[in-house]
Structure 1
Amino acid sequence: MKQNLLQKYAILLLCMSAGMADVIGYLGLGHVLTANMTGNIVLLGIAIARAQEFVVLRSLLALLGFIAGNAIAAHMIGHVKTKNGWSPRVTAVLTVESILLLLFAILMITPLAGQFSTLLIVLLGIAMGMQTTAARRIGIAGISTTVLTNNLAAVVEDAVSIFHRMKHVNVRSLANSLSADSYLRAGAVVIYLGGVILAALLFHHIPMVAVWIPVLVVAGVTLQARIAAWGKGEHLESDADKH
């Protein structure tokens, strides 16, 4: 039970790191989103319509980096699954992400950061793409750490379900009957927003500190996963392998 609870906290922390990464990319790398690809594709479309070649390049690099991260993580994880979704291969993906974020932070604080801007965008895009695929494979409460729209829609659906049930039970009974996943999905939206606010405040006042927080968060989650060996010995064949 304790292990399961730690995994839920871990997925929320990954949501926070993704929100912070988007802010850092947007404010520090020329208004580009590296975690939220829906928003990034919108920015890319606007830039194409306005013939803003430089903005197009940055948004396109973020998109390609994200796709590369998805592909790398999917290859690393393969079809191996565990009962709780968090296999050692998922932890390996987060380990690589931590290394990429560390490299990003080191380059970001150097005086030559401006010259490395395209590389920084690609690094952050790859890291967020890897995290997205890892979170999808973990599958806790249907939460995506980078797609806020998906999480928000789930929260709204939970709220509508609550509204219908309020006609038949009192508020206290309803609160007790809500699933842990409902609370977790709401928490994912709140903590993502909290990460965005925190990163915006820090990047405005002490940007050199802001870039290190996602590194520490993802590295901390990865270290905890390795210590707990989540998913160890629970490998199951995927449906694709069975057929």
Structure 2
Amino acid sequence: MLLILLAMAAGAADGWSFLGMGKAFVANMTGNTVLLGISFFHLHGALHPAAALGGYVVGVALASYVTGRHARRIQEENLEPPERVIWSRAVSWILLAECACLAAAEAVWFARCRGAGIPDYVPLIFVAVCIGAQSGAMLQLRVPGIVTTYITGTWTQMVRGLTRVITGENIAAPVEKPEFEEQLRMQGQILVAYFASAVLTGWLFYHAAALTGVVPVICLGVAGIYGMLRGGAYSLSD
């Protein structure tokens, strides 16, 4: 469920940025790279995809530094995570910081919708940093075949898995079959959540534009708080 919430946050953020922030993406860096490339021929402006790509890179770097530093400390001190821990407290802190940054972006967006003369690339950079941080933090989980921010890989892995099922291809060992089926289900749920959040974002953009950013804020807030509560003593200060 937490991964679904994170996928919803990313799908909503990507829809929000594309519809209202210069047709750039905050999760789909493949798209931004293409937009930057065609901007050389004046087929698309370079400012927005460059701002989104730069913000994303900063977010990934910050999250990777925090989670990597925490992971090294855990390894050096031979600490074991308590039972039923969702993820380390460092990941939860990053998600809560992402939620706060998204809330700030929504506040800027709200003011812009009410007539404030704020360039659209300002909230775009905020949101791109947030989604980059989410991507960097989730790398620590190493969930095979599942990515919550850019879903081309999830599509590829799921279609590959379904093809194996349809063609009757043997899975490596019988013990892996339940895990394989569970992964397929999770991939399908991630894709549905990503799509549904984009639909909801599109509806908000055209019916309550000033509130377009509330979906990722809520999703990240729930995921971060729940992860924090389930983090036990496995904290950043351990």
Q: Map of 1:33-48 to 2, 5 A cutoff?
A: 33-48=25-40
Q: TM-score, normalised by structure 2?
A: 0.83
Counterpart position of 1:220: 222
Question: Per-residue deviation at 1:112?
Answer: 4.8
Paired residue type of 1:74: S
Paired residue type of 2:205: F
> How many correspondences in the alignment?
220
Counterpart position of 1:17: 9
Counterpart position of 2:77: none
What whole-Å deviation, never above 9, does each CA across 1:125-174 have from its counterpart, x for those lacking one?
Answer: 1001001111221223431111110000010111011113389xxxxxxx
CA contact (8 A) 1:85 1:139 kept: no
CA contact (8 A) 1:70 1:130 kept: yes
Task: Give runs of ≥4 in structure 1 deviating > 3 Å.
Answer: 81-85, 175-178
Q: Map of 1:178-197 to 2, 5 A cutoff?
A: 179-197=181-199
What whole-Å deviation, never above 9, does each CA across 1:174-232 have from its counterpart, x for those lacking one?
Answer: x9785312210111111111111111112111122321111011011101111111682
CA distance in 2, matches of 1:11, 1:178: 17
CA distance in 1, matches of 2:116, 2:181: 46
CA contact (8 A) 2:106 2:211 kept: no
CA contact (8 A) 1:34 1:124 kept: yes
Q: Map of 1:37-76 to 2, 5 A cutoff?
A: 37-50=29-42, 52=44, 55-76=45-66
| Residue 140 (structure 2) pairs with residue 124 (structure 1) | no
**Which one has the bigger helix percentage?**
1
The partner residue of 1:78 within 58, 65, 68 is: 68
> Helix, strand or coil for the counterpart of 2:154?
helix
Question: Per-residue deviation at 1:51?
Answer: 6.2
Counterpart position of 1:89: 90
The partner residue of 1:31 within 20, 23, 26 is: 23
> Helix, strand or coil for the counterpart of 1:59?
helix
Paired residue type of 1:45: G
CA gap of 1:46–1:162, structure 2 versus 1, over 3 A, is same
Aligned CA-pair RMSD: 2.7
Counterpart position of 1:200: 202
Unaligned runs of 5+ residues in structure 1 are 1-8, 168-174, 236-243
